[in-house]
Amino acid sequence: MNAAGPVNERERILALDALRGLAVLGILAMNIQYFSQIMAAYENPTATAALTGADYWIWLAAHLLADEKFMAIFSMLYGAGVVLLTSRIAARGGRELRIFTRRSLWLLVFGLAHAYLLWSGDILVSYAVTGMAVYPFRKWEPRRLMIAGALVLAIGSGLSLMSGWSMQFWGGEAVKEMEQGMWKPSAERVEREIEAHREGWRTELPWRAADSAMQESQVLLFLTLWRAGGLMLLGMGLYKSGFLTASLKDGFYGKTAAIGLAAGIPLILYGVHRNFAAGWDFRFSLFTGSQFNYWGSLGVSAAWMSGMMLLARRAPGVARRFAAMGRMAFSNYILETLICTTIFEGYGLNLFAKVNRTEEMAVTVAVWAIVFLVSQVWMKRFYFGPLEWLWRSLTYGEREPMVRKKRELAAA
């Protein structure tokens, strides 16, 4: 098989594919808030209304189990993918840097199109940029990679804490402008943002473009680059250590899950307590209050990953269902955007800012069902998801085989 050939079925790593499938479902539990509500409501759950009743418990469950957790898993998987891809290219005599750079540039193109044409919550641009930043470290040994990853994560945390501390020197107008722009917008601004989403694609475009530009500049430089970069380095180390390939003992995964939950959940809950005690005040909650989940999410992410590794070892048939979604995670990520923007934006069902968190979760479960069913049917007939096929063909500069052969279809 040459460097540009499709990955043989026997080369697939079930645990990695299954974990990616879990992540593409889990990430929607948080993204749904960005699809259906104003931008500020994603970071500040009290931006538009107080959290009460079922809405509070749904928010709390998502905050404990999904917020930052599946972004962390996706980032670690991307780091693992950097090592896996480049090592296979090298083994086949291909040019690692050339192919990986082309792959990253195409991901950047896809990400920009996604962000500016569809939805400003895009993560692909950040992954394309951050992936190139961590690429030079792919050959480090596991322990060194994990230490480096922790240090990079600490830099991101330090930048956030320093930003919060420095706010006392900003001046009242600067603080107020930032607070109203991204944390607690005025009633007038909320009305204008909602109206833009409800009126249609063209009216929403300026909001989407401004938000995307901020995500790809300030947020990328001061947060995402460090968070995603540190997690990618951790993912490289975890892949090389055998953790992400379900190569370690059941007992190790069980202990890791237990320790991760025991460390992560209380820390996140304490952060929830502190943020509510502060009234979700911008000066505390954005920079300092967010750090409890920043670090606590790592423990919960470890528990999710360990659980999927155990599933791949003990129930491979079930894991293969998740793996079908994971093998077309890129396509499913965009599919979730297409479905949710059609539901919430003005050019679709126009439900933006008209649903509560309980109703958001109902939509999430429905989209999960669609993604699951589409993936099972698609992967029985094709080697790749449609966007995975396009991305791979553009990366290698030649048309990849797509449709499975008749004997493979019969076996499926």
**Per-residue pLDDT at 5:** 47
Residue 181 pLDDT class (50, 70, 90 cuts): confident
Residue 170: the pLDDT is 87
Rg (CA), the chain: 21
Q: How far is residue 396's CA from residue 251's CA, in Å, rounded to a whole number? A: 41
The string of pLDDT tens digits covering residues 101-112 is: 999 999 999 999
Task: Give the Cα separation of 118 and 373 in Å (integer).
Answer: 23
Which pLDDT score is estimated for 173?
A: 87
pLDDT, residue 12, reads 87
DSSP 246-285: T-S-HHHHHHHHHHHHHHHHHHHHHHHHHHHHTTT-HHHI
Percent of all residues in the chain with a pLDDT value above 70, rounded to a whole number: 96
pLDDT at 338: 98
pLDDT top residue among 258 and 95: 258
Asked whether the whole model's pTM tops 0.85, one would answer yes
**Mean pLDDT of the chain, nearest integer:** 94
**What's the pLDDT tens digit per position in 40-74?**
999 999 998 888 999 999 999 999 999 999 999 99
Q: Name the pLDDT band for 1 (thresholds 50, 70, 90).
A: very low
Q: What value does the mean pLDDT take over residues 338-351? A: 96
Q: What mean pLDDT do residues 200-226 have?
A: 93
Task: State the pLDDT at residue 168.
Answer: 87
**Sign of the alpha-carbon dihedral angle for 193, 40, 333, 236:** positive
Please state the rounded mean pLDDT for residues 213-242.
96
Is the pLDDT at 408 greater than 80? The verdict is no
pLDDT at 4: 47
Note the pLDDT of residue 182. Answer: 85
> How far is 56 from 159, CA to CA, in rounded Å?
30
pLDDT number for residue 10? 67
